[in-house]
Amino acid sequence: DDPDKIKDPVAAYKFLRQVRTSKRQRALSCRYSTGGGNPRLMYAPVKEEVEWDEPRIIRYHDIISDREIEILKNISRPQLSRAETTRGVSKTRTAQGVFLEEDTIVVAPISQRIADITGLSMDSAEELYVQNYGIGGRYEPHYDEWDNENGRIATFLIYMSDVQIGGATVFPEVGVALKPKKGSAVFWYNLHKNGDVDLYTEHAGCPVLRGNKWVANKWIHEFGQEFRRPCSLSYWE
């Protein structure tokens, strides 16, 4: 039963709920990383956990403090409620979101940290996009990038809350479920090195059944990564 073929969203989520942390996922490794010797990370290595190998999905622990999270939520809240009145209701995404300007106190250091951790340039990245899901809030299966020039080469998804029940980020094509864990982030490339979309990166935000889910997305684009992530003609890289 493929969710794409299921038109009824309730049936689709019954399917997605079956996506569970697999044995393979648990066997993958965990280590401290300095981003390949980045001086800003040498004294405070980031705890890195491989959630999946193909596509490579990396979880970074404790990359944002509770204080920073509170500030981000406080900045976002009034703008979220304003967005609600002006926007039509999306059928595939029942969350409220806002892009935060880079020049606010907490946002710039977070971008710098993402650059240090991933080794990628933030020059062509989008502003940090904060989203809040209430009970029942969900995001149906989608790709972050489809077919644009200077597309979203990678996604850095920060969890700004735990969720009591539900709310996992799932990759139905590969069977990975990422449980929101406050202060952690997950990172993956949406594009192969040749620029094609990695079809295994389709993902969804499962409905929040109990609790309140906050995430922040940093979408990183292709331009500026030419020397950081060299392109390749090979499909599989």
Ligand X SMILES: O=C(O)CCC(=O)C(=O)O
**Binding positions for ligand X, rule: CB under 6 A:** 131, 139, 144, 169, 203, 205, 215, 217
Q: Which is nearer to ligand X, 151 or 205 (CB)?
A: 205
What residues between 140 and 159 interact with Fe ion by CB under 5 A?
A: 144
Binding status of residue 198 toward Fe ion by CB under 5 A: no
Residue 159's binding partner, choosing from Fe ion, ligand X, none, with beta-carbon cut-off 5 to 8 A by kind? none
Residue 158's binding partner, choosing from ligand X, Fe ion, none, with beta-carbon cut-off 5 to 8 A by kind? none
Collect all residues with Cβ–Cβ distance below 8 Å to 49 and sequence separation of at least 6. Answer: 28, 29, 30, 58, 59, 60, 61
β-sheet bridge partners, residue 217: 129, 157
Residue 169's binding partner, choosing from ligand X, Fe ion, none, with beta-carbon cut-off 5 to 8 A by kind? ligand X
Q: Which is nearer to ligand X, 35 or 207 (CB)?
A: 207
Q: Which is nearer to Fe ion, 192 or 218 (CB)?
A: 218
Describe the strand order of the beta sheet including 152-159 as a list of residue ranges.
30-33, 46-53, 56-61, 185-189, 152-159, 213-221, 128-133, 96-100
- Ranges of H-type helices in the chain: 9-17, 23-27, 39-42, 66-86, 107-118
Residue 113's binding partner, choosing from ligand X, Fe ion, none, with beta-carbon cut-off 5 to 8 A by kind? none
Q: Give the CB-nearest residue to ligand X.
A: 205
Q: Which is nearer to ligand X, 173 or 231 (CB)?
A: 173
Contact predicate 73/160, CB 8 Å = yes
Q: Measured from the CB of residue 103, what is the shortest distance to ligand X in angstroms?
A: 23
Q: Which is nearer to Fe ion, 144 or 222 (CB)?
A: 144
Q: Measured from the CB of residue 169, what is the shortest distance to ligand X in angstroms?
A: 3
3-state secondary structure of 141: strand
Q: Rounded to an integer, what distance in angstroms lies between the CA atom of residue 207 and that of residue 195?
A: 31
Angle at 44 between CA 41 and CA 48, to 5 degrees: 80
Q: Rounded to an integer, what distance in angstroms lies between the CA atom of residue 81 and that of residue 132?
A: 10
Query: What is the total count of residues that contact Fe ion (CB under 5 A)?
Result: 1
